[in-house]
Chain A
Amino acid sequence: MSQIIISVGREFGSGGRVIAEELAKRFDLPIYDRHLITEIAEKTGMTASDVEKLDEAPKSRLTSRRVRGFSNSIEDNIAEMQFDFIRKKAESGESFVVVGRCSESKLRDFDCLCSLFIIGDSEAKIKRVMEVYEMSESEAKSFIDKKDKKRKRYHNYHVGLHWGDSRLYDLTVNSSRLGIKKTVDFLESYIKARQDAAANKK
């Protein structure tokens, strides 16, 4: 099978991570999401929960500075380590699924990249977060806003382009329309079509 990299960006509560996991299963690919946190924790000697706090987090502008591409911000350095990790994996020819980490932009040079962005209706996302995190409606709403704001700042800082801008992705899909399973079916057929197109090119 020729190399395939599936990048899944997602709004919080849209089920993007679950979709990514399901795609990884169907294509029998490794998935890099929490795995990246463990990897960085092992490398830095930090605990996984400490790394998680800094994962996909924007740096504090007041307590950090950048000089000739170097940054003192731990958030920045963790992000760079993750970008390096996925880039090396991609360069090694490995096929994988990666969730977030600006992967749609950081790996855009790879022809085998399928970049997806999963969104959801507000009500559906709130309902999902209420169920998964056992929160009230208002708590879920503010949790979603907080998480999305964080992801947006992280993405826009590292990429310089707008998070969720449809021009950055091959497909932007609203998971509330078909539900998780049928959305995965649809995306699977798209990815297979991409694989066929790549094979025909050869």
Chain B
Amino acid sequence: MLAAQIFAVIIFVTMFIMIVLDKIERHYVTLGCGILTLVVVFGICMRNGTAIWQTIAIRDFVKPEFWYQVTESESKGINWATIVFIAGMMVMVEGMAKAGFFRWLCMKIAFLVKCRTIPVFITFMIMAAVLSMFIDSITVIMFLAAVTIELAQLLKFNPIPMILAEIFCANLGGSATMCGDPPNIIVGTSLGFSFFDFLANTGLCAGICLIFTIIFFYLVFKKELTSNKGEAVDISKLPAPSTAITNKKDFIVSTVIFGLAVVLLVSHSATHLTVATIGTVIAVITLITAGKDAVSLLKKVDYKTLVFFVGLFMVVGGLEETGILEYIADFIGDISGGNAYIMAAIILWVSAVASAFVDNIPFAATMVPVIQSLAASTGVPINTLAWTLSIGTDIGGSATPIGASANVVGTSVAAKNGYPVSWKRYCSKLAPATIIVLIISTVYIFARYL
């Protein structure tokens, strides 16, 4: 077992370093490391065929509870529910983007507040948070940042503060629901939580934090955003929201499908449909209604991310099966002396700091089995640790330009349009905002759960 543990750790650390170095595309890295885990750790060192099957978890697809779940259950190995759900949502989002939904929504809201800079700033922050509760934050920021730049050029303000605030709020909104951010999907599907469980716990925390965030960003960015106050702005120069719609029928259909996805997610604890089922249903409906465009929608799905997840779960499976994650759990248990406050604080702040610099998805995937062990050995409720982990990984990612995907996309869209954002510029405002939100979250967790 010792050799298996050593190899599992070597493969995991190598994977992390290679992801950070970005020399080889990350999906090749995780898949290669995942296959190494199966062959070297489970095959050669452990000679354990069962562990390989448990990690591949392909049999999950034929289990009724994978599609319809009456009681909560936990998953091991490759978390296919996460992958199927993300794939389904990717198909839906591609359909919505093609129909012009996101651009239309951004323009519509800007026009509703008459394109005045500060109201646009505030409504776009709220919109970033709300949309990210249901849609991946990459898509949200891609469209929001593009429209922000367009508005900035007409209204003559610097779009960087607004884009930075949108990025932060998108990450914050993502923490509010089970499907908002990949770490939450992993936590939710691994531990059997529902959409409402998240909404009532991380969602409430995110809502409180959003109020403070809006106030904070208003105060720190107000001067920059209103520097051109007084200049007359002709909003008739802006394209009308309706021009964003590429095809009215597609637009209506994609809006209805999005509405259906929201209803299915909100009601899934009552309908007992799993997120895998919801993802599949949404994808199938999108493809059927797309008709001859179905193939082009399928081609646009980000398969690299899906492969990344498959490899990642295999590598984490190696750490889990060899008992490495139990050591980490024991270590956290020991240094906290069994004190739930210290334990929660460690999970929250360590998750946040780690997520600020490394991809929060592998971090969350690794930490889920750790908190399971920790809950079993110390008696601290798993729910408390799960919400703490979700909040920490989701929020921490906002602190640096590389902490979360939305940050990379937002700063990249800004730079490509002539507004480069340096690390200094980014961190000077978003790192303090992250710390404020983490302090609020710590108080929330202590007050509510401990």
Q: Which residues of A contact B (CB under 8 A)?
A: 43-46, 61-68, 70-72, 74, 76-78, 80-81
- The answer for the CA separation of A70 and B410 in the assembled complex, in Å, is 9
| Max count, chain A CB within 10 A of own CB: residue among B22, B138, B142 | B22
Q: Per a CB cutoff under 8 Å, which of A44, A71, A78 touches B408?
A: A71
Q: What 0/1 pattern do residues 418 to 432 of B give for CB contact below 8 A with A?
A: 111111000000000
Q: Per a CB cutoff under 8 Å, which of A61, A70, A72 touches B23?
A: A61
Residue of A nearest to B26 (CB): A66
CB distance from B264 to the nearest CB of A (A): 26
B401→A68 contact, CB < 8 A = no
A76 to chain B: which residues have CB within 8 Å? 412
- Asked if B409 is an interface residue, CB under 8 A from chain A, the answer is yes
- The answer for the CA separation of A68 and B359 in the assembled complex, in Å, is 14
A77→B415 contact, CB < 8 A = yes
B20→A77 contact, CB < 8 A = no
Residue of A nearest to B25 (CB): A66
Q: Per a CB cutoff under 8 Å, which of A63, A68, A74 touches B415?
A: A74
A71→B412 contact, CB < 8 A = yes
B409→A70 contact, CB < 8 A = yes
Secondary structure at the A interface, as helix, strand, loop or mixed, is mixed
| Max count, chain A CB within 10 A of own CB: residue among B22, B401, B408, B420 | B420
What are some 12 contacts across the A-B interface (CB < 8 A)? Answer: A61-B22, A63-B401, A63-B423, A67-B138, A70-B412, A71-B412, A72-B408, A72-B415, A77-B412, A77-B415, A77-B420, A81-B416
CB distance from B209 to the nearest CB of A (A): 24
Q: Per a CB cutoff under 8 Å, which of A43, A44, A46, A67 touches B409?
A: A67
CB distance from A114 to the nearest CB of B (A): 29
B142 to chain A: which residues have CB within 8 Å? 70
The 10 closest A-B pairs by CB, nearest first: A77-B415, A70-B412, A65-B402, A72-B401, A43-B418, A67-B408, A72-B411, A67-B405, A74-B420, A70-B409
Number of interface residues of B (CB under 8 A): 26
Q: List CB contacts (< 8 Å) of B358-375 with chain A.
A: 359
Q: List CB contacts (< 8 Å) of B397-415 with chain A.
A: 401-402, 405, 407-409, 411-413, 415
A62→B419 contact, CB < 8 A = no
CB distance from B325 to the nearest CB of A (A): 26
- Asked if B302 is an interface residue, CB under 8 A from chain A, the answer is yes
- How many contacting A-B pairs (Cβ < 8 A)? 63
Given the known interface contacts A61-B22, A62-B20, the answer about A68 and B409 at a Cβ–Cβ threshold of 8 Å is yes
A67 to chain B: which residues have CB within 8 Å? 138, 405, 408-409
Known: A66-B408, A67-B405, A72-B412. 8 other contacts (CB 8 A): A61-B20, A61-B22, A62-B20, A63-B401, A63-B402, A68-B305, A72-B421, A77-B416
B409 to chain A: which residues have CB within 8 Å? 67-68, 70
| Max count, chain A CB within 10 A of own CB: residue among B20, B415, B421 | B415
- Asked if B263 is an interface residue, CB under 8 A from chain A, the answer is no
CB distance from A66 to the nearest CB of B (A): 6
- The answer for the CA separation of A62 and B422 in the assembled complex, in Å, is 14
Given the known interface contacts A46-B420, A72-B402, A74-B420, the answer about A66 and B22 at a Cβ–Cβ threshold of 8 Å is yes
- Asked if B21 is an interface residue, CB under 8 A from chain A, the answer is yes
CB distance from A76 to the nearest CB of B (A): 8
| Max count, chain A CB within 10 A of own CB: residue among B402, B421, B422 | B402
- The answer for the CA separation of A45 and B416 in the assembled complex, in Å, is 12
- The answer for the CA separation of A80 and B415 in the assembled complex, in Å, is 10
- The answer for the CA separation of A68 and B402 in the assembled complex, in Å, is 13
B138→A68 contact, CB < 8 A = yes
B419→A68 contact, CB < 8 A = no
B402 to chain A: which residues have CB within 8 Å? 63-65, 72
Q: List CB contacts (< 8 Å) of B95-116 with chain A.
A: none
A62 to chain B: which residues have CB within 8 Å? 20
CB distance from A38 to the nearest CB of B (A): 14
B421 to chain A: which residues have CB within 8 Å? 72, 74
CB distance from B399 to the nearest CB of A (A): 13
Q: What 0/1 pattern do residues 20 to 35 of B give for CB contact below 8 A with A?
A: 1111000000000000
Residue of A nearest to B359 (CB): A65
- The answer for the CA separation of A62 and B21 in the assembled complex, in Å, is 6
Given the known interface contacts A67-B408, A70-B409, A71-B408, the answer about A44 and B420 at a Cβ–Cβ threshold of 8 Å is yes
Q: List CB contacts (< 8 Å) of B2-36 with chain A.
A: 20-23
A70 to chain B: which residues have CB within 8 Å? 142, 408-409, 412-413
B401 to chain A: which residues have CB within 8 Å? 63-65, 72
CB distance from A67 to the nearest CB of B (A): 4
B138 to chain A: which residues have CB within 8 Å? 67-68
A45 to chain B: which residues have CB within 8 Å? 418-419
A68 to chain B: which residues have CB within 8 Å? 138, 302, 305, 405, 409
B405→A44 contact, CB < 8 A = no
| Max count, chain A CB within 10 A of own CB: residue among B20, B21, B138, B408 | B408
B408→A65 contact, CB < 8 A = yes
A71 to chain B: which residues have CB within 8 Å? 408, 412
Residue of A nearest to B405 (CB): A67
| Max count, chain A CB within 10 A of own CB: residue among B21, B405, B416 | B416
- The answer for the CA separation of A76 and B3 in the assembled complex, in Å, is 41
B423→A44 contact, CB < 8 A = no
Given the known interface contacts A61-B23, A71-B408, A72-B412, the answer about A44 and B422 at a Cβ–Cβ threshold of 8 Å is no
Residue of A nearest to B19 (CB): A65
- The answer for the CA separation of A116 and B405 in the assembled complex, in Å, is 39
